[in-house]
Each structure stands twice: as C-alpha cells, then as structure tokens.
A and B are shown apart, each in its own frame.
Chain A
Amino acid sequence: MGRVAVVGAGITKFMHRSEETGKELAWEAAKMALDSCELNLEDIESVVLGSAPDAFDGVHMKGEYLADGAGAWRKPYMRGYVGGGTGVFVGAQGWYHVASGLFDTCLVVAEEKMSSCLPHPQGAFLTIFDHTLERPLGPNLIWIFALEMNRYMHRYGITKEEIALVSVKNKRNALDHPCAQLGAEITVQDVLDSEVMVWPVNRLDVSPTSDGAAAIVLASENVARRITDKPVWIEGVGWSLDSAYWTNRDLYYPRYVECAARMAYQMAGIREPRKEINVVEPYDPFSYKELHHLEGLLLCGKGEAARLTADGVTARDGDLPCCPSGGALGVGNAIAATGLMKICEIFWQLRGEAGKRQVPGKPRRGLAQAWGDLMQVGTVVIMGV
C-alpha cells in the first residue's frame, strides 16, 4: 500500500446553531482545507464525506444532499457513517482511497448540523434503541452512557470528582481554540453542582450539541511532496465494531476500541503506545469517555486514566497531552465534524501550527480516536512526521 499524507486542513466555528446550512458549512471547511494547501477542486480525484444520522436533518440520504458542499461534483464520492465514530473513520476511509493506489488525492469532509432537530436532537437518538425490547422503556441516549459510567466507576472505585477533572481540563484547553463553542474556566465543584441529567452524569460532564464542519486533504506520497514540505503521514488506521447486544457486554472496558487501536498500532509498527504516541485526541463526548478511551487505546493500564489526569500527565504540557484542542467537551460535539476536528488538531500539532494550543516538545506522533453507535464502534487514526 502506498503512503498517504494529510496535506491540508480546514474547520468552521462550532456553534449551538449556525446560520449556514449543512451544505454551506461543509463547503466552508472544504474550501479552507483546499486553500490551506493551495489546491483547487480540479486537483481532487475523490471525495469522502462523514455525517451522522439523517434523523438530525430530516433529510434522507443526506450524503447526497451534502455532496455539492463537500466538493463532490462529478467525482467518485462516498459517505461514511459509523455513528459517533464517523469523524475519525472517514480519515481511515479517505486513507484507503489513496493507499490503494486508486486515487492520488482525496478530500475528506465531515459535517454535522444538529440544531435542525426540534425541540432537541436528543429526540432523534431514540431510534438508536431496539424497537421492541428497549424503546417501550422510554430510554434516552444519556441513559446508556450513565450506565456505562457507573459500571466503570464501580469497577475501579473511581469518583465523580476524578472524572470531572476531564471536563475542567478540556473546557480550559478550548479557551485557546478559535472555533470553540464552550471554552470555559470551571472547577470540579462547578461540574458536581451542575444539573444532574442522568446520574452519574451531570450537565458539565456532557459535550454540547453543535453545528460545524471540518475537512482534510489527503495525497499520495509523490503528490504530497509536490504540495507541501510538511506532510503529515497517516501511519496507521483501525476500526472495530462490537455486538449490538450491549446489555450482554461488560461496559467497564471498551474492548472494540482496543481492537481498533491494535489494528492501527500494528500498521504503524508501534509496540509501546505509551512511549511512542506524543499527543492524543481521544473522543470525549462525556468526561469519563476520555478516561475509558485512554485505557482502551492501551495508553495506560486499566483503571489508571483517572490518576494520570489528576497527576497532570494528560494536561497540554503533560507527558501525554490529551485533547489539547479542548475536545468535544470544549470545542463542541458536532458529531462527525468533531472526530475530524481531532484529526485536524493532530495535523496542526505535528506541524507545530497549533498556536496557543501547541503542546511542547515537538510531538512526532499523534493519535485521534472516535467512538459511537450503541457504545459499540472504535475508530483510530495514527499520524506522524
């Protein structure tokens, strides 16, 4: 397989509600990504778009609706959709478009406009549940994460205070992100005092719903070297899906994330992830998820992520910076766009272009990860310079 580089990136602001339509947001991010590497649409041979449920938009086959905004006019085009894991999955999907040798360039765009779903996009999530056995019980999406968080806390004796530190860190990091929706200086007590949504999940443990888009440009090695002297290589990709019988799995540990990570580490030739990954953007739609995912990614031992956070290891200037962007908790959670935002962040971090968010020590290798469906899918992209 050929080497594939990320050569450009673009992103819109993340907002509770944007004036732009999804199509317009997609175009803004895609155009910025193309401009950032001085390419035009005619230089692009293939297009991949990521967007989460059609139910948010009330537009069936929204990949087709969004295609023009993603730059797909008369091009080989494909929409990727694996729930919350979509934004990182499309990085892998774009990678195999180019690594296969089929295309020299691929524009990867991820868009989400959640605000169209009234009164709250939470309503659209009801349809994720089994129609016969689960929906009659009146579930909401926070239920299952609260169930998972409680199982995780119980297994290791982790407290809500320890988990709240993730929200504090990520919202603070987001203050330095020009596109962030919810950057803030908050305390652990603020998190604990915020409204309980579904115990043990408080409002400040949850990322906001958002409108936004992100995009990257991928190129084969020969083309990448002509475009930029600072290519960021995709060194490994991985994805894995666990069973939809989620009540038959022990939720304390995301095994499917481990499977995805092992696939990506093997491809990247990484034997000791903790030593070889310098910066990481794990998916953090809920505060505990960052911890859960650090463990699934084998970046720390099981049950140890809370201590790493308390010790400052995961701070932007720590030994293993996690979510230096501000993550979903701080930048916002425009589902698919947030996953790709994480890939953009690793791209900028590895090029030394992350501005006030730059982690020290010239990171050489970074990892972005997303997660979704019924706590079911793990998607991983590893990048290096």
Chain B
Amino acid sequence: MQIEKFPGVMLREADVEQGRVLTTQWQPNLKYGWDAGIAIGRFLSELKQGRIVGTKCHKCHRIAVPPRIFCEWCFKPFDGWVYLKDTGVVNTFSISYIAWDASRLEVPSIPAVIEIDGASHGMGILHLLGEIEPDPAKINIGMRVKAVWKPPQEREGAITDIKYFKPLEEGRR
C-alpha cells in the first residue's frame, strides 16, 4: 500500500473525562407495547395453563415450536395446534457471566436451546437451565430436562411462566 498515513484520531477515556473533547448526551425515553399476535398469543395463554403448544404443517410434515400461523417453508397456513410435553433435550447451552448491558453478573445464568418433546426433531426454544451447577463439566448437550413452572396464581402468560428447565432423572418422565 502506498498510503503512509491513515486518518483517525484516537480518544482515550481521560480525554472525555477531563473535558478535552466536547460531547453531548441524551437518554431516550421510549416505550413500546408489543402485541403478542395470534400464534404467540395462544402460546402464552397456554403457558399460563402450564402447557406448551406448537403448530403442525401437514405439507412439510413438521410440528413447530414456537408456534406460528404460517409455515415459512411452504408459506401456507399451519394446519392446527398440537400440545407438546414440558420436557425436552438440551441442544446447546452456555454459561453467562455478563448481563444484557455487558455488566458482570454475580450469579451466572445458563441459557440453553431446548428441543421440546413432541415437536419435530431440532425444534427448540430459548430458555434457562436451573437446579444445576454452572459448570460446563456438569451440563451436557443431549441432557434431558423438564420445565419448572411458576405456581398457577403467579403466571401471567409470559415465557417466564416457566422459571427454567431442570435436569430430568432418567426413568422419571
């Protein structure tokens, strides 16, 4: 490259803190009200009843969760609702030491993709694991897990009506 000098002036934290450069700040105050929609609305109201529901597409021979009103593969309406189990298999997991804003967490969380029993192979949802040590040696991909629900009176029709999924001892479904 013939270019010898590259543009860009690097700032250090002290430049900002000691006011050597001028900055302006603004904190947005926005609020959104999201409609759950037809498919997820039903999904959430079933969660409130302690049930996980999916949708089936006859043409693509699959049962999907989270449910949707249309199949994104064949682009036809889904053909109906199917109750699934509240058990499943850990497809993958991680152990998070940081919160959503990159601040450190005192107690790590264990996000996981859980393939739900009764849905087609590979159909997972994002949730958390609990009642297990946050230790990669003690959690396994392929491990069977079961939903731990909030008590019925505390459920509000939200994904958090399931507190987390806990390891399932084999033989006890």
Q: Interface of A with B (CB < 8 Å)?
A: 10-20, 25, 28-29, 32, 36, 58, 118-120, 122-123, 126, 131-134, 136-140, 142-143, 146-151, 154, 178-179, 195-201, 211-212, 243, 245, 247-251, 348, 353-355
Interface 9-mer from B77-85, B119-127, B147-155:
B119-127
Q: CB distance A137 to B160 under 8 Å? A: yes
Q: In the assembly, what is the distance between CA of A134 and CA of B160, in Å?
A: 10
Q: CB distance A248 to B122 under 8 Å? A: yes
Q: In the assembly, what is the distance between CA of A147 and CA of B91, in Å?
A: 9
Q: CB distance A19 to B11 under 8 Å? A: yes
Q: CB distance A179 to B160 under 8 Å? A: no
Q: In the assembly, what is the distance between CA of A140 and CA of B72, in Å?
A: 26
User: Chain A's nearest CB lies how many Å from the CB of B106?
Assistant: 14
CB within 8 Å for A132 and B160 given contacts A198-B94, A200-B136: no
Q: Which residue of A lies closest to B134 (CB)?
A: A199
Number of A-B contacts (CB under 8 A): 170
Interface string of B85-124 (1 = CB under 8 A from A): 0000001111111111111000001011100000000111
- With a cutoff of 8 Å between Cβ atoms, the chain B residues found around residue A243 in the complex are 72
Interface string of B22-57 (1 = CB under 8 A from A): 000110100010101100100010000000000000
Q: CB distance B141 to A120 under 8 Å? A: no
B145 within 8 A of A: no
Q: Which residue of B lies closest to A243 (CB)?
A: B72
Q: In the assembly, what is the distance between CA of A160 and CA of B11, in Å?
A: 34
- With a cutoff of 8 Å between Cβ atoms, the chain B residues found around residue A151 in the complex are 91-92, 113, 141
User: Chain B's nearest CB lies how many Å from the CB of A11?
Assistant: 7
- 20 A-B residue pairs with Cβ-Cβ distance under 8 Å, sorted by A, are A13-B7, A18-B11, A19-B15, A19-B21, A25-B8, A28-B8, A58-B26, A122-B100, A123-B100, A143-B111, A178-B6, A198-B96, A198-B97, A198-B98, A199-B95, A212-B8, A243-B72, A245-B72, A247-B113, A251-B92
B158 within 8 A of A: yes
Q: Which of A20, A133, A243 has the most chain B CB atoms inside 10 A of its CB? A: A133
Q: CB distance B127 to A137 under 8 Å? A: yes
Q: CB distance A150 to B141 under 8 Å? A: yes
- With a cutoff of 8 Å between Cβ atoms, the chain B residues found around residue A199 in the complex are 94-97, 136
- With a cutoff of 8 Å between Cβ atoms, the chain A residues found around residue B96 in the complex are 140, 142-143, 146, 197-199
In addition to A138-B99, A139-B111, A251-B92, 10 A-B residue pairs with Cβ atoms within 8 Å of each other are A15-B8, A17-B12, A18-B11, A123-B100, A146-B94, A199-B95, A247-B113, A248-B123, A249-B122, A250-B122
- With a cutoff of 8 Å between Cβ atoms, the chain B residues found around residue A353 in the complex are 1-2
- With a cutoff of 8 Å between Cβ atoms, the chain B residues found around residue A249 in the complex are 122
Q: In the assembly, what is the distance between CA of A29 and CA of B7, in Å?
A: 8
- With a cutoff of 8 Å between Cβ atoms, the chain B residues found around residue A201 in the complex are 94
Q: CB distance A247 to B126 under 8 Å? A: yes
Q: Which residue of B lies closest to A154 (CB)?
A: B141
Contact of B95 among A32, A36, A122, A198 (CB under 8 A): A198
B10 within 8 A of A: yes
**Range of interface residues on chain B?**
35 or more
Contact of A132 among B109, B113, B123, B159 (CB under 8 A): B159
What 8 pairs between A and B have smallest CB-CB spacing? A13-B8, A146-B94, A28-B7, A122-B102, A151-B92, A199-B95, A19-B9, A12-B8
CB within 8 Å for A58 and B28 given contacts A154-B92, A199-B136: yes
Contact of A148 among B26, B72, B92, B98 (CB under 8 A): B92
CB within 8 Å for A20 and B3 given contacts A123-B100, A132-B36: no
Q: Which residue of A lies closest to B15 (CB)?
A: A19
User: Chain A's nearest CB lies how many Å from the CB of B59?
Assistant: 17
User: Chain B's nearest CB lies how many Å from the CB of A280?
Assistant: 19
Q: CB distance B72 to A20 under 8 Å? A: no
Contact of A179 among B6, B12, B98 (CB under 8 A): B6
- With a cutoff of 8 Å between Cβ atoms, the chain A residues found around residue B122 in the complex are 248-250
Q: In the assembly, what is the distance between CA of A15 and CA of B1, in Å?
A: 20
Q: Which residue of A lies closest to B43 (CB)?
A: A133
Q: CB distance A248 to B2 under 8 Å? A: no
CB within 8 Å for A140 and B102 given contacts A13-B10, A199-B136: yes
- With a cutoff of 8 Å between Cβ atoms, the chain B residues found around residue A140 in the complex are 96, 98-102
- With a cutoff of 8 Å between Cβ atoms, the chain B residues found around residue A29 in the complex are 7
Q: CB distance B2 to A133 under 8 Å? A: no
Q: In the assembly, what is the distance between CA of A346 and CA of B3, in Å?
A: 16
Q: CB distance B10 to A16 under 8 Å? A: yes
Q: CB distance A248 to B124 under 8 Å? A: yes
Q: Which residue of B lies closest to A116 (CB)?
A: B23
